[in-house]
C-alpha cells in the first residue's frame, strides 16, 4: 500500500466527500441485464466508506444496458426510440437493485436523473446542487444518471464521465473515482507488450504521446478512455484529484493503494461560477472580436465592449452564454452576454460613451463584463 514516495495516496484517504462513477460494462453482462454480484461488490465498498462517515455520490451508467434482456434485445439498439424504451425499463431495475444492496448497509438511496440542460441552465444547476446536498445531509446516497428516457444527444454521443466530473464540482467533492473495465491509463493499447501503465498524471505534459481510445470491451457502454481523460481534466481543473481504475479494484483504490492512475489537481480551485461557465454551459452564439478586443479580453482581462466586436452569430438573449472568438474563428473566452442578439448589430464598433449619448445611459454598459467571463 505504498506509492513511489513510500506513502499511501493521501488525496484518497483524506477525502471526505467522494464521487464514484461506474460504467455500464462494469455492471452488466455482455448480453444485457444487471450482474448482481458486481453491484453488490461495488456497494459493499461504498458502504464501508459511508460507515466511516464519508459522503458518497454514485454516478452510475447502466440503465439502457439493464433494459436490454427484459425487452428481449440481444444488443444495444441504434435507434433512439428503442434506446429510450430500454432506459425506461432499465432505470427502474438499476435503482431498485442499488436500493436493495445499500439497504444491507442501512443506507437509503436517492435517484437523481439529469440532462445536459440541468447543468447548463444556472437555475437548474442550483436546484441540482440543493437536491444533492440535502440527500447527503440526510445520510442518503445519491445515485445520479443521465435521464436517458428523454435525452437525445447524450444517448447518441454522450457518456457519464463528463457528468461525473461536473457533479464532483457541483458538490465540491474531495475526490472523483472513475471505474471502468480498464485498470488504468496506459501509454497505448494495454494488450500490447510495449504499452506501460501510467501511475500518476501531474498535467498535460504527462499525457504527451499517449494513444487513448476505444470503448469498453463488453460492447454495452458508450465511453472510452478519451472521455475519461477529458473528465479527469475537468475535475482536476476544479482542484479535485481523480483516480482512474477498474471496477474490481475499487476497494484498493479507495483505500489509497497505488492502483490505477492518479490525476493530481491544480493547486487552486477556480470560483464555482467560472467553472460552471467554462465546462457546464453550451454557447448560444458567438461574438467575433477584432485583434484589439482579443488583446484586451485575453491579455489584460478586460470586459468586452461593443467597439471591439465585428460580427454576431446565433440567437440568444441577455444572460445567455456566448463564445468570444478571434479573427481566425477560434474561441478564446466564454461569457454571459448583457444584450439580446437582435440588439447587438446596431451597437458594433461604437464606443459606450457614443452609445449612451445616442441611445441613453442604459447602453453605457459592457457586452460581457469581466466578472462573467472565463478564458478558454
Q: Any idea where the domains of the chain sit in the sequence? A: 10-275, 283-375
Mean pLDDT of 5-12: 76
The model's pTM is 0.81
pLDDT band at 235 (very low <50, low <70, confident <90, very high): very high
Kindly report which listed range (42-51, 108-117, 144-153, 302-311) carries the lowest average pLDDT score: 144-153
Q: Which fold has domain 283-375?
A: 2.30.130
* Least reliable range by pLDDT among 46-60, 65-79, 96-110, 327-341: 65-79
Res. 263: pLDDT tops 50: yes
Instruction: Provide the pLDDT for residue 2.
Output: 43
Could you tell me whether strands 242-246 and 175-180 are parallel, antiparallel, or unpaired per DSSP bridges? parallel
**Average pLDDT of span 160-183:** 91
- What number does CATH give the domain 10-275? 3.40.1160.10
- pLDDT > 70? residue 106: yes
Distance CA 376, CA 373 (A): 10
Pick the most confident of 103-112, 117-126, 140-149, 182-191: 103-112
Spatial contact of 110 and 26, defined as CB atoms under 8 Å apart: no
Q: What is the pLDDT of residue 362?
A: 82
So what's the pLDDT on residue 14?
95
What does pLDDT average to over the chain? Answer: 86
Give the burial string for 22-46 (b: 16+ CB within 10 Å, else e).
Answer: bbbbbbbbeebbbbeebbbbbbebb
Per-residue pLDDT at 354: 87
- Confidence bin at 360 (pLDDT 50/70/90): confident
Whole-angstrom distance, CA of residue 371 vs CA of residue 130: 24
Confidence of residue 211 (pLDDT cuts 50, 70, 90): low
Question: What's the pLDDT band for 35 if we cut at 50, 70, 90?
Answer: confident
One-character DSSP codes across 71-98: GT-SS--SSHHHHHHHHHHHHHHHHHHH
Tens of pLDDT, residues 338-352 = 999 999 999 998 888
Of 277 and 297, more confident: 297
pLDDT band at residue 121 under the 50/70/90 scheme: low
Confidence of residue 151 (pLDDT cuts 50, 70, 90): low
Count of CA atoms in the C-beta half-sphere (13 A) of 307:
13
Q: Do domains 10-275 and 283-375 have the same CATH topology?
A: no
Query: How far is Cα 280 from Cα 117, in angstroms, rounded to an integer?
Result: 9
Contacts of 18 (CB under 8 A, 6+ apart): 49, 54, 55, 56, 57, 173, 174, 175, 176, 177, 254
Q: In what order do the strands lie in the sheet with 321-325?
A: 309-314, 285-289, 321-325, 331-336, 373-375
% of the chain with per-residue pLDDT over 70: 88
**Predicted local distance difference test score (pLDDT) of residue 156:** 37
Q: Which residues contact 42 (CB under 8 A, 6 or more apart)?
A: 22, 26, 27, 179, 247, 250
Mean pLDDT computed over 94-111: 96
Which of helix, strand or coil describes residue 204?
A: helix
Which range in 29-38, 106-115, 276-285 is most confidently predicted, on average pLDDT?
106-115
Q: Is the pLDDT of residue 216 over 60?
A: no
Percent of the chain exceeding pLDDT 90 equals 53
Select the more confidently predicted residue: 255 or 278.
255
Q: Examine the pLDDT at 53 and tell me if it is beyond 90.
A: yes
Amino acid at each position: 500500500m505504498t506509492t513511489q514516495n513510500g506513502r499511501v495516496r493521501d488525496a484518497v484517504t483524506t477525502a471526505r466527500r467522494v464521487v464514484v462513477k461506474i460504467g455500464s460494462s462494469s455492471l452488466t453482462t455482455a448480453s444485457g441485464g444487471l450482474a448482481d454480484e458486481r453491484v453488490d461488490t461495488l456497494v459493499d465498498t461504498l458502504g464501508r466508506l459511508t460507515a466511516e462517515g464519508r459522503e458518497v455520490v454514485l454516478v452510475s451508467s447502466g440503465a439502457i444496458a439493464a433494459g436490454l434482456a427484459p425487452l428481449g434485445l440481444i444488443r444495444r439498439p441504434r435507434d433512439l426510440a428503442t434506446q429510450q424504451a430500454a432506459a425506461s425499463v432499465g432505470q427502474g431495475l438499476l435503482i431498485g437493485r442499488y436500493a436493495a444492496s445499500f439497504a444491507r448497509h442501512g443506507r437509503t438511496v436517492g435517484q437523481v436523473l439529469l440532462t445536459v440542460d440541468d447543468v447548463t441552465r444556472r437555475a437548474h444547476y442550483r436546484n441540482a446542487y440543493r437536491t444533492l446536498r440535502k440527500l447527503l445531509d440526510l445520510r442518503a446516497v445519491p445515485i445520479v444518471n443521465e435521464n436517458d428516457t428523454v435525452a437525445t444527444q447524450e444517448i447518441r454521443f454522450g457518456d457519464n464521465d463528463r457528468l461525473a466530473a461536473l457533479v464532483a464540482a457541483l458538490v465540491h467533492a474531495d475526490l472523483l473515482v472513475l471505474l471502468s473495465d480498464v485498470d488504468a491509463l496506459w501509454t497505448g493499447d494495454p494488450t500490447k507488450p510495449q504499452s506501460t501503465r501510467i501511475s500518476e498524471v501531474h498535467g498535460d505534459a504527462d499525457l504527451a504521446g499517449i494513444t487513448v481510445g476505444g470503448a469498453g470491451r463488453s460492447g454495452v457502454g458508450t465511453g472510452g478512455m478519451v472521455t475519461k481523460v477529458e473528465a479527469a481534466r475537468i475535475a482536476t481543473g476544479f482542484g479535485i484529484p481523480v483516480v482512474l481504475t477498474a471496477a474490481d479494484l475499487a476497494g484498493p483504490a479507495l483505500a489509497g493503494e497505488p492502483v490505477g492512475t492518479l490525476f493530481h489537481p491544480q493547486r487552486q480551485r477556480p470560483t464555482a461560477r467560472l467553472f460552471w461557465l467554462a465546462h457546464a454551459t453550451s454557447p448560444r452564439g458567438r461574438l467575433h472580436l477584432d485583434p484589439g478586443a482579443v488583446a484586451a479580453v485575453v491579455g489584460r482581462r478586460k470586459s468586452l465592449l461593443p467597439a471591439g466586436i465585428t460580427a454576431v452569430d446565433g440567437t440568444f438573449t441577455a444572460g445567455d452564454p456566448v463564445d468570444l472568438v478571434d479573427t481566425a474563428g477560434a474561441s478564446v473566452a466564454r461569457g454571459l452576454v448583457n444584450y439580446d442578439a437582435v440588439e447587438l448589430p446596431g451597437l458594433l464598433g461604437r464606443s459606450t460613451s457614443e452609445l449612451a449619448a445616442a441611445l441613453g445611459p442604459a447602453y453605457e454598459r459592457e457586452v460581457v463584463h469581466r466578472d462573467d467571463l472565463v478564458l478558454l
